[in-house]
Amino acid sequence: MTNSLNDMRHAKSFIFIGSNAAEAHPVSLQHILHAKEVNNAPIVVVDPRFTKLAAKGTDFVRIRPGTDAAFMMGLVNAVIENDWHDKEFIRTRVSGFAEMAEVASHYTPETVEDITGIPAAEVTRIAELLATHRPTSLTWCMGGTQHHIGSSITRSFCILQLVLGNMGKSGGGTNIFRGHDNVQGATDMCVLSHSLPAYYGLSDGSWKHWCRVWDVDYEWMVSRFKEKKWMNAKGFTLARWYEGVLGEEEIDQYTPIKAMIQWGCGSNSNSQYTRVKRALDKLELLLIIDPFPTMAAAACESDNVYILPCSSQYETSGSVTSTSRQIQWRDKVIDPIHGCKDDYQIMKEIVNRLGFADKFYKNIKQSPEDISLELGRGSLTIGYNGSPPERIKRHMANWHTFDIDTLEAKGGECDGEYYGLPWPCWTTEHPGTPILYDVSKPVAKGGLPFRNRFGLEKTYDASGRTENQLAADGVYTPGSEVEGGYAEFKDVVPGTNWKTDLSQETIKEAIRKGMAPFGNARARCIVWTFPDQVPIHREPLHSPRPDLIARYPTYEDQPNHFRVLTRFKSEQDPTLAKKFPFVLTTGRQVEHMGGGAETRSNKYLAELQPEMYAEVNPRTGNNLGIRDGEMIWIESPEGSKVKVKAWFTERVDETTIFMPYHFGGMLEGRSLMDNYPKGHEPYVIGEPANVVTNYGYDIVTQIQATKDGLCKISKA
């Protein structure tokens, strides 16, 4: 998130795509509606459903699921064709514009209408609305990411904001809303299969950096792996961990996964859930650490499940990072109850038994403060190093001194600092960075250019043209010793760069010069390391428009894609839409969260949303002989099915079926209530929507595609 929820109060227009903030992020609405009323800012909502956010918006654009990139590139093309683009911003701060514009030119309003179902005139009208109401705040959520081209879709969002010159501006930016209070923090710590904390990756240099942070011998770390190469190889993703158990797909050097720990994880968030269930049953050990029994605890019907009841967020303390990159300190309200232990205690018990507590806790004597200090010391890439616990706690104690519009403290102990020290916070004197890429402020006061990550120049294959990747002369933060672009800082301390110098002298030297440690570069429209260097539309793997598959084909199958074969071309069957004529998409409810284990065990929330359902257009239901409120079967191309109640609503069109994904405790029409520990059953159970979400994974990230699959429905 480049800006913040509070900064959205300054927007002159909004576009939300794949985001239903009114239900998924209701706190944000106070700022969004402020801008709507005070700035007369139009709110454009792009979604397959008429959501609760759309009801608050000024413009609703109904889009066919999975076609977001086509619409975005159509907007980009309309902006350029009508001379609405920010030429000076592009000239000085953007690379690869000409090549990107050539690709975008193919997405005429008429082409976009054919792909997305959005009328051609609407494409041009929305482009003009955004161009004449700048700065625009653009928000996306999982509706934009969970597609097999999700990485291209999200890049197209950023390109639109670059073309309009909305990056680095108050009220502008790309603002990706996260779920609960520490999704951003968990991402920053890279609880992922392909990176060490703070986005360092898995190179030898990255491992050596973190070994220095942890004060452990690098060779000892190497010895923990069966073979050295696995230190540098991507693992299974959360989306497809079960492939390592089942062994049914082609896997790079298959070694069966025999044990799994699920810590605060709702397994019913996995697509193809019947395969997940088979993997759960096959495991020799399944350890669930959670305040409530999860769907996995009930779905796994082998004698291999152990539940460690951990405490809730109110029974522990520590730092969390919000969607706005703000670090906050969460204080413990009460001690753990009913014999539960907090996460720190459980981790210590496990590490002690695994036999490496001496190394794990070398720098950690007081939890959680020392944990935050260690993470900050190593996370130089994103500037966590300027946010020690005492600074964070001071912000919590003085929150009332921060301005609601700017997030800057006006006097008091935190004078001049931004609430939560939004990263990067380069030093313990730095105020935090409220808006990424804002060159109107000195770096020492929270300003920042674009990062130099991709070299000094690039020759584009298509044209042979060489383009400087550094910002143009005259583009710099106030006080910079270099009045233009510059490379990242390194060798201030010999043999290190700004990311690996644990003394932090490199970062401090950059700040003294009024410069950013990571350089001053251009944002690139072309990602030459991605399959699609410029975002393009590719038809969903399970497309309701088989006539478009030949024109917008998917990728070739990818062997060893996060260790497992991932099908693309071989999965795209043009005949599928005849048997499965409806598009299936999923989303959130405001009353429930994630897999729902906690919220469905809350009697007050359970009363508000007691039933699983599917939204069906009345015309669709009537044509199928189904009545409103009747039970129906929804079946997927993979052969799975769920039994849910039909709810007639014109929120969805005649070709779309929507289901919330928070439910669990049933599986293909069968109740699992007897499988929960006695006295700990949830108040509400229902079919997990991810039983019938389709096969499909992003070409770059392997995030699952849950928003654009196919299904068929029938009366139960």
Q: What pLDDT, in 10s, does the model give residues 413-433?
A: 999 999 999 999 999 999 999
Q: Can you tell me the distance from the alpha carbon of 451 to that of 154, in angstroms, rounded to the nearest whole number?
A: 19
For position 253, what pLDDT does the model report? 85
Which pairing describes strands 558-561 and 582-587: parallel, antiparallel, or unpaired? unpaired
Continuous segment of H or E residues that includes residue 660:
strand 656-660
* pLDDT classification of 181: cutoffs 50, 70, 90: confident
Render the burial of 168-207: b for 16+ CB within 10 Å, e for the rest. Answer: bbbbbbbbbbbbeebbbbbebbbebbebbbbbbebeeebb
What SS3 string covers 184-237? HHHHHCCCCCCCEHHHCECCHHHHHHHHHHHCCCHHHHHHCCCCHHHHCCCCCC
Task: Quote the CATH superfamily of domain 6-163.
Answer: Dimethylsulfoxide Reductase, domain 2 (3.40.228.10)
- In this prediction, residue 180 has a pLDDT band, given cuts at 50, 70 and 90, of confident
Q: State yes or no: pLDDT of 172 exceeds 90.
A: yes
**DSSP letter assigned to residue 400:** G
Closest CA to 535 of 15, 65, 150: 150
Looking at residue 178, its pLDDT comes to: 87
Look up residue 174 and give its two tokens: 């790309």
Q: Find the mean pLDDT for residues 246-253.
A: 92
89-144 pLDDT per residue, tens? 999 999 999 999 999 999 999 999 999 999 999 999 999 999 999 999 999 999 99
The pLDDT-based confidence of 281 (bands split at 50, 70, 90) is very high
pLDDT of residue 687: 98
Query: In angstroms, rounded to a whole number, what is the distance separating the alpha carbons of residues 301 and 288?
Result: 14
Looking at residue 462, its pLDDT comes to 67
71 in the Ramachandran plot: left (φ > 0), alpha (ψ -120 to 50) or beta?
alpha
Q: What is the arithmetic mean of pLDDT over 648-668?
A: 97
Which stretch of DSSP H or E encloses residue 17? strand 13-17
User: How far is 384 from 423, CA to CA, in rounded Å?
Assistant: 6
- pLDDT for 339: 85
pLDDT of residue 709: 97
Q: Give the mean pLDDT of the chain.
A: 96
- One-letter amino acid at 281 equals D
CATH 3.40.50.740 in the chain, residues? 183-377
What is the sign of the dihedral through the CA atoms of 527, 573, 581 and 595?
Answer: negative
Grouping H, G, I as helix, E, B as strand and the rest as coil, residue 360 is helix
pLDDT tens for 356-389 read 999 999 999 988 999 999 999 999 999 999 999 9
- Judged against a pLDDT cut of 90, whether residue 533 lies above it is answered with yes
How far is the C-alpha of 516 from the C-alpha of 509, rounded, in Å? 10
Band the pLDDT of 464: cuts 50, 70, 90: confident
Which CATH number applies to 546-715: 3.40.50.1860, 2.60.40.10, 3.10.100.10, 2.40.40.20?
2.40.40.20
Q: How confident is the model at residue 344 (pLDDT cuts 50, 70, 90)?
A: very high
Query: Quick one: which H or E segment has residue 298?
Result: helix 295-299
Phi, psi of 31 (to 5 degrees): -85, -40
Average pLDDT over residues 666-679: 95
The answer to whether residue 488 scores a pLDDT higher than 90 is yes
Determine the angle formed by the axes of helices 109-116 and 68-81, rounding to 10 degrees.
Answer: 170
SS3 (DSSP) at 467: strand
Residue 257, CB half-sphere, CA atoms under 13 Å: how many?
Answer: 22
Contact 214, 226 (CB under 8 A): no
d(CA 2, CA 17): 16
Whether residue 443 is predicted with pLDDT greater than 90 in this model: the reply is: yes
Model pLDDT for residues 595-606, shown as the tens digit of each residue = 999 999 999 999
Per-residue pLDDT band for 463 (boundaries 50, 70, 90) equals confident
- Reading the block at residue 344, the tokens are 């720190």
Domain 183-377: state its class: alpha beta
State the span(s) of the chain assigned CATH 2.40.40.20.
546-715
pLDDT tops 90 at residue 257: yes
Count CB-CB contacts under 10 A for residue 504.
Answer: 19
For residue 260, which phi and psi values (nearest 5 degrees)? -145, 140
- 123 against 266, higher pLDDT: 123
